[in-house]
Amino acid sequence: MSTARRADYCVIACAEIYRGDGEILANPTVGTIPYIGARLARATFEPDLTMTDGEAMLVANNQPVGVNGNPALVEGWMPFRLTFDVVWAGRRHVVMGASQIGRDGDTNISSIGPYEKPSAQLLGPRGAPGNTVNHQTSYWVPNHSRRVFVEKVDFISGLGPSRAARLGGKAAAYNDIRFVISDLCVMDFKGEGSCARLVSIHPGVEVDEIRAKTGFALENGLTAVATRDPSPAEIRLIDQLDPNGLRYREVSV
Amino acid sequence: MADKRTTEAEIVAELKDGMTVGFGGWGARRKPMSVIRAILRSPVKDLTVVSWGGPDVGLLCAAGKVKKLVYAFVSLDTIPLEPHFRLARQSGKVEAMELDEGMFYWGLYAAGLRLPFMPNRAGIGSDVMRVNPGLKTVRSPYEDGEELVAVPALNLDLAVVHMNRADERGNGQFLGPDPYFDELFLMAAKRRFMTCERIVRTEDFAREGSFHTLKINRMLVDGVVEAPNGAHFTSCVPDYPRDEVFLARYAASAANPQAWQEFRQDFLDGDEAEYQRRVAAR
């Protein structure tokens, strides 16, 4: 039994998504825990990942979150316009947020309700339509709830695997929805009919809680494994990457 | 040698109701805010606004200047959702053309290159195609036969960008980390304007930054305005960061109509010099 808390398991899950990715742009666009997870992956099993500082610099060293640590070791320049070269060439694994995630892996960050007069206008589709027909995409949901996990999304910003498969061709070939990491569990879309299934459950979470907070039927509830424990070395690295424990503000259990 | 120096008022005097205008920058970063403020004081209305949206979009919406928005996102960066933009959309009063970011980029580029469209995979199969029935697809004429989005050119009547430095002939220099897509807005527009923190002599550019920072050349610019602190309250690094305190106050002004009226009276109803005095006096 480890002393790791829920947020630490989320960090591990957010690191594991990059396993095997090699020399690509690991690009967590939201959240503290995905930020730490990407750097943990680079510090351990995926040393060739590239990452930005959230703006225009590619930074080679794993800087801690929320403190003035070691200065950025800038290894390259990647202004927003050049990001599209990377996206369209398929050399990126993005982690996005999602206001809604459907059972089929379609996602929404644009708006809730009718497009002409939304009940809630959100960000707009951002790069989600392009990301999901070009490269690896994962999602981070710090607050697993029925509001987020819905049968069908109101606006399809990001394409799930079935929708992309129906398009055929390169859009189908390049659509690569990897994982949804929430504060409760990890899912993918490799269930029956390319629908959501449980991959792993964070220790301390009951499958009934996940079902109660998910607005669609989830496959694999009985066979999903536990999200793996962080090793003692990983715990030390996580503490170095987040010395003030900001991850526990994002997931406080 | 042409001296292209002009004023915000002269730029706004070129605007007519119903025009399509583009603003450079990104979210709450390096926005030509002194021109936005001048538009707020003018009678112009029914604008179609094309922007990587930030408070430029929110302010124009709050002041009732917008008929249609063309965007991939609207955000204040540190405050992810732009409250005035949300109110405008949720009231159903503002038409929207929501695009994928790559489509938005390609649309500006197509306009700049005088092409009717650019092919792109981004957007295909998404609701961007459903909610914009005017968008068409095109099939590759080669053996792959792939169906792609024909992103239409985003032609602009007028565009404004804000740079760190410029000379009076219309060369512009960015000194921050990212040039954003500013030259594409200028390329896409019939009338092209650049505000800047400081007008310098052409020979002084090299003292300000390397030649790589000379992103805007004078062929792209019809008029230049020296507007110190002109991007306030968005960031204009290294000259100044985003004014987070003011940004929060701006966001709070969306709470109710009275809060907006107070914000307007406190900061926006005077001219630009008055705005800068009031900002400095806080």
A33 located within any domain:
yes
Residues B123-169 pLDDT 10s: 999 999 999 999 999 999 999 999 999 999 999 999 999 999 999 99
Specify whether the backbone of B71 is left (phi greater than 0), alpha (psi in -120 to 50) or beta: beta
C-alpha span between B171 and B220 (Å, rounded): 8
Stretch B235-263: mean pLDDT: 98
Long-range CB pairs of B200-209, under 8 A, 24+ apart, other chains included: B200/B165, B200/B166, B200/B167, B201/B167, B202/B167, B202/B169, B202/B171, B204/B165, B205/B165, B205/B167, B205/B171, B205/B173, B208/B164, B208/B165, B208/B173, B208/B175, B209/B165, B209/B173, B209/B175
Kindly list the domain boundaries of chain B, sorted by start residue. 8-100+155-271, 117-152
pLDDT digits (tens, 9 = 90+) for A230-245: 999 999 999 999 999 9
Give the C-alpha separation, A238 to A242, whole Å.
Answer: 6
**How is chain A classified by DSSP, letter by letter?**
-----HHHHHHHHHHHTTTT--SSEEEE-S-HHHHHHHHHHHHTT-TT-B-B-SSSEEE-S-PPSSS--SPP-EEEE--HHHHHHHHHHT-EEEEE--SEEETTS-EE-SEES-TTS-SEE-S--TTHHHHTTTSEEEEEESS--TTTEESS-SS-SB--HHHHHHH-HHHHHH-EEEEEEESSEEEES-SGGG--EEEEE-TT--HHHHHHT-SS--BTTTT-EEPPPPPHHHHHHHHHH-TT-THHHHS--
Nearest residue of chain B to residue A116 (CA atoms): B92
Per-residue CA distances from A39 to A4, A26, A236 (Å): 18, 9, 13
Q: HSE-up of B4 (CA within 13 Å, CB side)? A: 24
- Check residue A5 and give its pLDDT: 97
Q: Which of B90, B105, B126 sits opposite A118 (nearest CB)?
A: B90
- Domain assignment present for A1: no
Percent of the residues in chain A that have a pLDDT greater than 90, as a whole number = 94
Residue A221 pLDDT > 80: no
Q: What percent of chain B has pLDDT over 90?
A: 99
Q: What is the rounded distance in angstroms from the CA atom of residue A108 to the CA atom of residue A98?
A: 6
Among A56, A115, A121, the residue with its CB nearest the CB of B177 is A56
Overall average pLDDT of the A167-183 stretch: 97
A-chain residues within 8 Å CB-CB of B85?
121
Q: How far is CA A29 from CA A67, A124, A128, B282, in A?
A: 19, 15, 11, 34
pLDDT tier, A46 (very low <50, low <70, confident <90, very high otherwise): very high
**Count: domains in chain A:** 1
Q: State yes or no: pLDDT of B174 exceeds 90.
A: yes
Distance CA A20, CA A45 (A): 9
Question: Does A50 map to a domain?
Answer: yes
Range of the domain at A212: 6-250
Whether the full predicted model's pTM is greater than 0.95, yes or no, is yes
Q: Which residue of A has its CA nearest to B91?
A: A117
Q: What is the mean pLDDT of residues A125-150?
A: 98
ipTM entry: 0.96
At A18-35, the pLDDT tens digits run 999 999 999 999 999 999
B248: helix, strand or coil: helix
Distance of residue A217 Cα from the nearest chain B Cα, in angstroms: 24
Q: Is residue A15 part of a domain?
A: yes
Residue among A68, A16, A61 at smallest CA distance from A225: A16
Residue A50 has pLDDT above 70, yes or no: yes
pLDDT at A1: 42
pLDDT value for A2: 57
List chain A residues with CB under 8 Å of B180: 79-81
Task: Let me know if residue A131 belongs to a domain.
Answer: yes
The type of residue at B123 is G
* Chain B: residue whose CA lies nearest to A119: B90
Supply the CATH number for residue A226's domain: 3.40.1080.10
Q: Do A81 and B181 touch (CB under 8 A)?
A: yes
Strand partners, A197: A188, A219
> What digits encode the pLDDT tens for the residues B15-54?
999 999 999 999 999 999 999 999 999 999 999 999 999 9
Structurally, at CATH architecture level, domain B8-100+155-271 sits in: 3-Layer(aba) Sandwich (3.40)
The dihedral sign for the CA sequence A15, A238, B81, A27: negative
Which range (A63-72, A111-120, B211-220) has the least confidence? A63-72
pLDDT tens, residue by residue, B179-201: 999 999 999 999 999 999 999 99
As a whole number, the mean pLDDT across chain B is: 98
Q: What is the pLDDT of residue B176?
A: 98
Do the domain assignments include residue A32? yes
Write the residue in B53, B125, B145 that is nearest to A159 by C-beta: B125
| A222 pLDDT higher than 80 | no
pLDDT of residue A142 exceeding 50, the answer is: yes
Across chain A, what does the average pLDDT equal? 96
